[in-house]
C-alpha cells in the first residue's frame, strides 16, 4: 500500500499537471473577459466605439402558415421564415392576437420584429454592430435577465455560451485552489505567500463590504 509520502507526491504531480492544462484551456476565455472588461470600463475609448458606427436596415417579409399556439412557437416560425437566428426576447406584452412583437438577438446582431398576421407580413428592423460591439456584448451576454420571467434561454448557442461561462468559473475556482495547494507545499514561500494572500483578501473585502459605508 502506498505511503502517505507517495500519495502526497502523486497529488502534487497531478495538481501541477492539471493546473497547467486547465490554465491553457481557459487562457483565451480569460483574455476575452479581461479585454472586454477594459472596454466596459473605458467606454469613451475612440477606437472601441461601436454604437455610433452601427448599421441599420429595414425590410418586410411575407409570413404564412404560422401555427396557432404559444408566443414562442409562433416567434420561432416567423424567425425561421425570415432567416433570423438568435435568442428570442420579448419586448412587450402581447395585447392583440393578430400582432406579435419580439426581438431576435445574438452578439453583434439585433432584429426587432413586428408581425401582423392579418396582413401576413412582418416588419424587421436590423441593427448590425462591428467587431468591438460583438466582443463587448459577449462580456454580459446571457440570454436572460434577472426579474424577467418571460425571457428564457431558447437558442442553443446561448445555452452553450452559458455552459462555457459556468465551466470558466469552475475552472478558475480549481486554479485558485490548486495554486493555494502548491503554495502551501512550498514551506519556504509560506510567509511571503501569506502576506500576498492577506493583501488580496483585504483589497477584495474593501470593495465587497467596505464601499457600503460610503453609500
Which pLDDT belongs to residue 199? 95
Q: What percent of the chain has pLDDT above 90?
A: 40
- Residue 39: name the closest of 131, 121, 135 by CA: 135
SS3 at position 121: strand
Identify the three-state secondary structure at position 102: strand
Query: How does strand 87-90 pair with strand 109-116?
Result: unpaired
63 or 96, which is more confident: 63
Q: For residue range 12-52, what is the model confidence (pLDDT) as tens digits?
A: 888 889 999 999 999 999 998 898 888 888 877 887 788 88
pTM recorded for the entire structure? 0.71
Whole-number Å distance between alpha carbons of 110 and 146: 20
Predicted confidence band of residue 147 (pLDDT cuts 50, 70, 90) = low
Per-residue model confidence (pLDDT) at position 140: 81
- Answer for the pair 54, 109: CB distance below 8 angstroms, yes or no: no
Residue 29 grid cell: 476565455
Q: How many residues does the chain have?
A: 215
Q: What is the pLDDT of residue 95?
A: 78
pLDDT tens-digit readout, 156-198: 888 888 889 999 999 999 999 999 999 888 888 889 999 999 9
% of the chain residues with pLDDT over 70: 93
| Helix-helix angle 4-41:131-138, to 10 degrees | 130
- Report yes or no: 119 and 94 within 8 Å, Cβ to Cβ: no
Residue 93: how many other CB atoms lie within 10 Å: 8
Amino acid at each position: 500500500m502506498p505511503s502517505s509520502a507517495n500519495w502526497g507526491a502523486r497529488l502534487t504531480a497531478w495538481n501541477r499537471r492539471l493546473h497547467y492544462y486547465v490554465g491553457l484551456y481557459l487562457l483565451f476565455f480569460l483574455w476575452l473577459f479581461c479585454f472586454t472588461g477594459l472596454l466596459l470600463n473605458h467606454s469613451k475609448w475612440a477606437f472601441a466605439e461601436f454604437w455610433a458606427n452601427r448599421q441599420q436596415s429595414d425590410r418586410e417579409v411575407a409570413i404564412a402558415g404560422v401555427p396557432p399556439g404559444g408566443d414562442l412557437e409562433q416567434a420561432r416560425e416567423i424567425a425561421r421564415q425570415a432567416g433570423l437566428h438568435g435568442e428570442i426576447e420579448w419586448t412587450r406584452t402581447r395585447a392583440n392576437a393578430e400582432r406579435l412583437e419580439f426581438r431576435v438577438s445574438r452578439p453583434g446582431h439585433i432584429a426587432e420584429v413586428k408581425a401582423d398576421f392579418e396582413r401576413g407580413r412582418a416588419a424587421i428592423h436590423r441593427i448590425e454592430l462591428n467587431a468591438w460591439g460583438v466582443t463587448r456584448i459577449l462580456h454580459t451576454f446571457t440570454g436572460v435577465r434577472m426579474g424577467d420571467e418571460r425571457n428564457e434561454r431558447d437558442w442553443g448557442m446561448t445555452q452553450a455560451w452559458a455552459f462555457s461561462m459556468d465551466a470558466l468559473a469552475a475552472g478558475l475556482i480549481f486554479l485558485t485552489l490548486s495554486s493555494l495547494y502548491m503554495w502551501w507545499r512550498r514551506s519556504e514561500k509560506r510567509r511571503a505567500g501569506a502576506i500576498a494572500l492577506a493583501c488580496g483578501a483585504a483589497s477584495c473585502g474593501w470593495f465587497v463590504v467596505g464601499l457600503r459605508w460610503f453609500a
